[in-house]
Structure 1
Amino acid sequence: MKLYNYFRSSASFRVRIALELKGMAYDYVPVHIARGDHKLPAFADKAVEGLVPLLELDDGTHLTQSMAIIEYLDEVQPAPALLPADALGRARVRALSQIVACEIHPLNNLRVLKYLVKELKVEDEPKNVWYRHWVRTGLAAFERQLALQPQSAYCFGDTPTLADCCLVPQIFNAQRFNTDLSGLPRTMAAFDACMALSAFQKAQPSACPDAEA
């Protein structure tokens, strides 16, 4: 398999975590979206959405959208499972995952931030205030959901799930933008538990071959 991704893309980071957790080998193909490499024919001809990540299977099939890719990986290699065995558990994990993937990330991804600056002429600091506001709002909701669940090492249960694959990259990006992460004890405990695992360490941006100093 080949994973077309950008080291700083949180959606790409999610998929790298899933691949590392499952021990699935893949070729890392960098696409520097900050420079616009995703618009070049070498990638754009493969990715009709023009977005990373894109997973190319051994037979040449292309899969897009991080959540769909991770669920595909979970189905073709069930162990270790990233979704619980029971329907209610799966719903809980998907809900946590979607707080990040559907409520936080779409408001703050790179193309949105670029649009704010280039098209709407928003200055850097108001742009960063925008970023921090929506991340903090989303993570506060994430924390409230965790508080409704029994205590656990990770976001749901005692092994990492899809929710952890989503949470960790979002915390990395929140830290880059100096977002206030205080008052989120369950959220940050899950993050710390994840970062103690080699799979999360190997998937982090600084470990990527295209990481910038």
Structure 2
Amino acid sequence: MPEQAQFELFAFWRSSAAFRVRVALNLKGLSAHEQNIDLDAGEQRSDAFLKVSPLGSIPALVQEGHEPLTQSLAILEFLDELQPSPPLLPNDLYGRARVRSIASMCAADTHPMVVPRVKKYLQTTGGFDDAAWRAWQIKWLGTGLAAIEARLAGSSETGVYCHGNQPTLADICLASIVAVTRVFKITVPDIPTIDRIMSVCDQHPAFMKADPKKQAGAPV
């Protein structure tokens, strides 16, 4: 790890979960040396990486002298506690629960449906060809974003961002799902609230710097 970096981040350019951690690091002004784990080449299943992340999942965040941290939501809350400013969660009890709920709709309900290990299983065991896999992606990304849109559009707590006027865990996780749709050129219609919030995130330096297309290993 370079001397100036505070962490080592095991990631892959298009990973939705790695995107979340990049945004949080950027927002917090923390540095990480990124080590590429090529999901397409199966590097996540290597013996060396399984010692870091036993599930073979990314991201993993490592600080010298401590065991690796895995699972993006846990890493985001760790970073928020490590560096409290700017906060990624609201001050009030119900606000924190709302933000965590929206974040979980993205990271726990929607994203797991389209990860590489699901694709591999469906194509090797479920008989999916490329067209069936794309239809699966469209179905579950669309279902998830439609539900989040309904949640955001129907709430007085929604502001410039998902909750109020500062980015939170919810915006980081929502942007990570939208990033996946962009990488795979999937358009989800009728989500005006999400589109408005993402237009703001797209102009925020922390989100811009984390853009999958700007990461090492991304197609030129």
**1:206 and 1:69 mapped to 2: Cα distance?**
22
**2:35 and 2:143 mapped to 1: Cα distance?**
33
Is residue 31–residue 38 contact of structure 1 (8 Å, CA) maintained in 2? yes
What percentage of aligned pairs have identical amino acids?
Answer: 38
Matched AA of 1:53: P
Per-residue deviation, 1:147: 1.4
Partner of 1:139: 145
Query: What RMSD in Å do the two structures reach over aligned CA positions?
Result: 1.2
Is residue 13–residue 204 contact of structure 1 (8 Å, CA) maintained in 2? yes
**2:195 and 2:88 mapped to 1: Cα distance?**
19
Which sections of structure 2, spanning at least 5 residues, go unmatched? Answer: 1-6
Partner of 1:42: 48
Per-residue deviation, 1:209: 2.0
Q: What does the per-residue CA deviation read over 1:30-83, in whole Å, with 9 as the maximum and x for residues that have no partner?
A: 111111111122312221121100000132321000000000000111001001
Residue of structure 2 aligned with 1:111, choices 117, 133, 139: 117
**1:122 and 1:75 mapped to 2: Cα distance?**
42
Is residue 5–residue 54 contact of structure 1 (8 Å, CA) maintained in 2? yes
Per-residue deviation, 1:165: 0.9
- 4+ residue stretches of structure 1 with deviation over 4 A? none
Q: How does 1:170-185 map to 2 (within 5 A)?
A: 170-185=177-192
Which sections of structure 1, spanning at least 5 residues, go unmatched? Answer: none
Residue 154 of structure 2 corresponds to residue 127 of structure 1: no
Secondary structure of the equivalent of 2:40? helix
Per-residue deviation, 1:153: 0.9
**1:183 and 1:195 mapped to 2: Cα distance?**
19
Partner of 2:205: 198
**1:24 and 1:177 mapped to 2: Cα distance?**
29
Is residue 155–residue 161 contact of structure 1 (8 Å, CA) maintained in 2? yes
Instruction: Provide closer, same or farther for how the CA distance between residues 26 and 177 of structure 1 changes in structure 2, counting only shifts above 3 A.
Output: closer
**1:7 and 1:175 mapped to 2: Cα distance?**
13
**1:130 and 1:209 mapped to 2: Cα distance?**
28
Matched AA of 1:156: H
Q: What does the per-residue CA deviation read over 1:95-121, in whole Å, with 9 as the maximum and x for residues that have no partner?
A: 111111111111111110121112222
Is residue 96–residue 142 contact of structure 1 (8 Å, CA) maintained in 2? yes
Residue 219 of structure 2 corresponds to residue 212 of structure 1: yes
Matched AA of 1:71: E
Aligned residues: 213
Partner of 2:3: none
TM superposition score normalised by structure 1: 0.96
Residue 156 of structure 2 corresponds to residue 163 of structure 1: no
Is residue 4–residue 52 contact of structure 1 (8 Å, CA) maintained in 2? yes
Matched AA of 2:126: L
Is residue 31–residue 37 contact of structure 1 (8 Å, CA) maintained in 2? yes
TM superposition score normalised by structure 2: 0.93
Secondary structure of the equivalent of 1:45? helix
